[in-house]
A and B are shown apart, each in its own frame.
Chain A
Amino acid sequence: MSLLSTDAGRSGSSGPARRLAAWLHRHPSARLSALLSAPVLWLGVAYLGSLAVLFLSAFWTVNSFTGEVVRQPTLDNFRTIVTDAVYRTVTLRSIGVAVAVTLVDAAIALPMAFFMAKVAAPRWRRLLVVAILTPLWASYLVKAYAWRVMLANGGPVDWLLGGDGNGPGYGLTATILVLSYLWLPYMILPIYAGLERLPDSLLDASADLGARAGRTFRSVVLPIVVPAVVAGSIFTFSLSLGDYIAVQIVGGKTQLIGNLVYANIGAANNLPFSAALATIPVLIMVVYLVAVRRSGALEEL
């Protein structure tokens, strides 16, 4: 504050707001920190702070009978997670689901995004983007329950596949199907944005040099689109890894990490153990993001 007043005195201009503006103009670093302090605080306290609290509480335990949290640090929760085979199985299953959803979405999104960016007439592009975004307006729960009805015994999916019980029913397959449907827009949009940046002239040049469609795709399109696919995969992978609602609705008896976290908060009243479980997807995502960073895909976001 003293800095401010001496500074203002020297400049001699009138009005505190003006003096402040002048001072800020001469001190770009103060300007920047004032601008960023709110978002940085948000990121630091609300986001990283809560992660830190989560990690800390993972070392607590709960009195098994009264449900009181015992604030004495112990590694019991992590020991259980590491030694009990069921948590390994569930973790691997969750990763498997996240990978499968990402692959399915990438396989569907690539041709769709290519069509939108390169084949469709420009005035159609905007409409197609709207069409991709529209499902996001509907509630997640409505869509998941709609899938529950569609996948029911004798429902539309069974009927399409030729009779009762021919469909996948509720289970792991249904979970992957529904999650792929739910997160598809998050894969299409980054790929679309990446392909839009690909100049048509490159495709023309490739064709002029005698390359067939497959060769053009491999040598011209793919190198440009891979970072975009990876960027999209961050969404589909992380969203699938943390999901527990769609699994509950269409997953039959399938358990993912999210279900275990939910069960330990909702049913077992064991917050510390939930916190310990919740660090598993955090670790997986950290590994994934570090790997992604090397591919340069983060610049695509």
Chain B
Amino acid sequence: MRRARIITGLATAGLLALSACSSGSSGGGANPADGKPPKIDKLASLGAGEGQVNIVSWAGYVENGTNDPKVNWVTDFEKQTGCKVNSKVAGTSDEMVTLMKSGEYDLVSASGDASLRMIYGGVVAPVNTDLVPNYSDVRDFLKMKSWNSVDNVSYGIPHGWGANLLAYRTDKVSPAPTSWSVVFDNAAANAKHITAYDSPIYIADAAMYLMAHKPELGIKNPYALDDKQFNAAVDLLKAQNKNVGEYWSDYTKAVQALKSGNTVAGTAWQVIVNLAEADQAPVAAVLPSEGATGWSDTWMVAAKAKHPNCAYKWMDWIISPQTNAQAAEWFGEAPANPKACEFTSDKGHCDKYHAADAAYASKIWYWTTPTTRCLDGRTNVTCKDYAAWTQAWTGIKG
């Protein structure tokens, strides 16, 4: 009993001490509201390789034949440049940011919802695109975008892109949907069989839908939402939640749910649809009339890279026609380099992923990190940042 009282006393004292200094806390570090990312110089000229390069990447972007002996574009790179590749696969954008902050990596294949955070956090440096010869071939609609550049300074080399499509079961959903309304306003028709992507970034899908259907909200960019717009998107998703069967973030789970019919309509990637179709499931995908969100990945160099020359050599290698073709085909996305389309083993690959279709690409709102500074250029309001999106996402799922 006496001991219990001592412990209680200690705990109370600790709490008091903590709460005493709890006031007046504020986050340090860079904030996009302040304006510019930290000034970091880009590499001026290319030197000799340092013998190795440490890469953080999405699964399937750095393949050395261990997953499939036929899928290997690392060995030739090592032979030609003398740069040994050490790669670390990250599962999420946030994991990538954390790994890059450790300072042990030279290079990262960042999606748009990670890239800005790393730019403003001073984790990555601007990229001198003149030192990457293959950059000139990259499709123009991927260059100098809001997720890979700030104030006309390039921070990376585009790798490939894809859209979050509306996938549906052709036997269960008729007529064939042409609008996202099948998962929003009309979702009740397929109650408990709707699926959605399990990430806060999915709020942008709802915002994009509202952009077309509730123009009075004045949404110009689904990643730049002020209070009112944000609440409207969250409400839409809360209403959708009643009809959702499950949320997916593991793409194999999405494939299986589409095949079994647990999911009859919802957001998916092209590669998911291909895998389900390969198993004879009656599944199709469409880019709805409202457009779609998507991902466009960018190779970025660490601000304190220990092997910058090898990192630049890798960036040039990965978007070279042959390698870009191999990587895009293995992952299931559109390659950034149009010349890659000649080298895919499936000659229809670029058509299937609409790689040359600028109109298709322009309908895609690429994942971008929401910040308090509105990305659509408004300065009279503050927008909801990614932390607010994350918290709201928990609330949406209930």
Contacts and interface: CB of A to CB of B under 8 A. Distances in A.
Interface of A: 59, 61-68, 70, 72-76, 80, 84, 86, 89-90, 148-149, 152-155, 164, 169-170, 248-249, 251-253, 255, 260, 263-264, 266-270
B120 interface: yes
A172 B70 CA distance: 43
Closest 10 CB pairs of A and B: A64-B387, A63-B27, A152-B260, A66-B121, A269-B94, A72-B25, A74-B22, A268-B390, A153-B261, A252-B246
B262 A86 contact: no
B107 to A, nearest CB: 19
B25 to A, nearest CB: 4
Contacts of A74: 18, 22-23, 25
B385 A65 contact: yes
A67 B122 CA distance: 12
Contact of A68 (B29, B32, B256): B29
A contacts with B: majority SS: loop
Given A84-B395, A169-B192, A153 B262 contact: yes
B28 A252 contact: no
A66 B30 contact: yes
Interface of B: 17-19, 21-23, 25-32, 91-92, 94-95, 97-98, 101, 117, 120-121, 192, 199-200, 241, 244-247, 250, 253, 256-257, 260-262, 369, 371-372, 385-388, 390-391, 393-395, 397-398
8 contacts: A65-B31, A70-B28, A74-B22, A76-B25, A89-B398, A152-B256, A268-B200, A269-B98
A169 B245 contact: yes
A252 B196 CA distance: 11
A86 B394 contact: yes
A168 to B, nearest CB: 11
Contacts of B95: 266, 269
A79 to B, nearest CB: 10
A266 B393 CA distance: 14
Contacts, number: 133
Contacts of A67: 94, 97-98, 101, 117, 121
Given A67-B94, A152-B262, 13 more contacts: A59-B18, A66-B120, A70-B25, A73-B21, A74-B23, A84-B391, A86-B394, A89-B398, A169-B262, A253-B245, A253-B397, A266-B94, A269-B98
A61 B25 CA distance: 9
A90 B26 CA distance: 29
A249 B199 CA distance: 16
A80 B390 CA distance: 13
A270 B98 contact: no
B262 A63 contact: no
Contact of A86 (B31, B372, B395): B395
Contacts of A76: 22, 25
Contacts of A86: 394-395, 398
A253 B247 contact: yes
Nearest to A266: B92
A70 B398 contact: no
A67 B116 CA distance: 12
Contacts of A266: 91-92, 94-95
B395 A267 contact: no
